[in-house]
Structure 1
Amino acid sequence: MSPPPPPRDAFAALVLHRRPQRARVGLTLGFVRTFAVPEIAEVLSGTGTLASAPKARAKATGAMMFALIGHGVDSPAGRGIVAELAAMHRLPGVDAELMRYVLACFTVCPVEHAAATPAERGAAAAFAAALAAALRLPPLPGPTLAETAAWMREFEAARFAPSEAGQRLWQAVAPLFAARLPGPLARHAPAFGAALLDPPLRAALALPRPARPLRAAARLAFHLTR
């Protein structure tokens, strides 16, 4: 696949150029949020790919999303990615509401972690709406990203629950945070990653609350990235 072209809008500029590392951490956190929904965790765990090759699976997911953001949903490359996403999500047990939630996570979390401007948030909401339409999903709550984020929290309050599949997925993916940490801290990546999770997500993944100094250090370590 060819590299993404220069940014077409404020969301693409944020993710690809202004704060790419923060956006990547946000995308990883969005991916992790899906583990707290037992139905999604079962599907991801059932494929076997994520648990056996978590780095490859996470990189592939990130590459697809970043290329889609860079090229645009309506571009030739974007249409190819949309077709791949549609095929991946025709798995048994994945309904339209779960797909909408995954899309919301992959849009809201990078924007929130990168501390996006109002223009960037508006462009992200437009991207999510275009992708939902391309995937033939019901529209996400909107038109603002704040309304999408509020719907996400309501969905999570109703659907987050502990599951063995979700906990296994977290154990497989937590080491990926090492790439965003200075070398000496890399071996502590799971603990630093857990410190970035909010209480409902930690509860669903059966993770203890990290000590306050670790939470502060994790926020500082990841927010110092561009």
Structure 2
Amino acid sequence: MTAAMPGAHQAYARLVLETMPEESRVGLTLGFVRTFGIPEIARVLHGTGRMTDDPRGRAKATGVAMFALIGQGLDSTEGRRVVEGLRRIHDRPDITAELMAYVLACFTVCPLRFIDDHGHRAVTDEERDAAYAFHRGLSDALGLPDAPDGHQDLARVESWMRDYESRHFAPSEAGRALWEATSKGLLAARLPAPLAALAPAVAASLLDRPLRTALGVRRPPAPVRILVTRALRSRAGTARRQHS
């Protein structure tokens, strides 16, 4: 599947689609959830009704689009079709270029964060550079302007993303409603089976403090956090032995 990718993207495609696909899916889901902390984005998502009525279907559509772009390339027939669809869906006055840039940053940065934290190995420099090449290519394809600092590498993208969150994360009714729907359905389907029954508390354990504050989510009790940490470490250890 990765053979169709341009050279600059191949390492990223292999990581996401072949080496750690499950971790990538969880990370992409967490990136999607992260956008709920921005009230302007939360209002748009909540207003469509799809995220509260069918969170798994909405997130699946997003995942299918992103993985098609990663796997087949932005210049492929399918890639061009997906890009045009994304441009059409987001062509509305309440979705600014800055909001789009933030969403794209979440979709690129969060899967790599999750892999670094919970995968059987950390993301390599080659994979990180390839992820940035994909990120920059998709940003250009969507017609997004360069950020003020130029975003010369993925570290700069992540730095911009953190700064944006520090200025824009805030509680909202829409954000809380989206979290309620997502934590009980979508995230349960993304978690290892032993953790799925405790989905809302487990999912909350994967959120950092600023996002929990924006979504009005309490920090889970220590036993739940310990269970999640041990389960993820055990899974990573098993995968590490399989790949050694």
Instruction: Tell whether the structures are fold-level matches, with TM greater than 0.5.
Output: yes
After TM superposition, list the pairs within 5 Å mapping 1:27-42 onto structure 2.
27-42=28-43
Counterpart for residue 65 of structure 2: 64
In the alignment, is residue 147 of structure 1 matched against residue 148 of structure 2? no
Counterpart for residue 214 of structure 1: 224
* Aligned-partner Cα distance in 2 for 1:220–1:40: 33
* Aligned-partner Cα distance in 2 for 1:136–1:184: 43
- The secondary structure found in structure 1 opposite 2:197 is helix
CA contact (8 A) 1:181 1:222 kept: no
Counterpart for residue 197 of structure 1: 207
Deviation at 1:54, TM superposition (A): 0.7
In the alignment, is residue 126 of structure 1 matched against residue 136 of structure 2? no
Q: Structure 1 stretch 98-107 or stretch 184-193: which is displaced more?
A: 184-193
Instruction: Give the unaligned 5+ runs of structure 1.
Output: none
Counterpart for residue 24 of structure 1: 25
RMSD after superposition = 1.6
Percent identity at matched positions? 52
CA contact (8 A) 1:7 1:13 kept: no
- The one-letter amino acid of 1:63's match is V
Q: Per-residue CA shift, 1:99-129, capped at 9, x if unaligned?
A: 0000000000011111211111100001010
Counterpart for residue 89 of structure 1: 90
Deviation at 1:83, TM superposition (A): 0.5
Counterpart for residue 46 of structure 2: 45
Structure number, greater radius of gyration: 2
Deviation at 1:172, TM superposition (A): 0.9
Counterpart for residue 74 of structure 2: 73
Instruction: Please give the TM-score of this superposition, normalised by the length of structure 1.
Output: 0.93
Deviation at 1:186, TM superposition (A): 1.8
Instruction: Please give the TM-score of this superposition, normalised by the length of structure 2.
Output: 0.86
In structure 2, relative to structure 1, the CA distance for the partners of 1:181 and 1:102 (3 Å cut) is closer
* Aligned-partner Cα distance in 1 for 2:208–2:224: 14
* Aligned-partner Cα distance in 2 for 1:84–1:47: 17
CA contact (8 A) 1:196 1:219 kept: no
Figure out how many residues of one structure are paired with residues of the other and give that number. Answer: 223
- The secondary structure found in structure 2 opposite 1:114 is helix
Counterpart for residue 175 of structure 2: 166
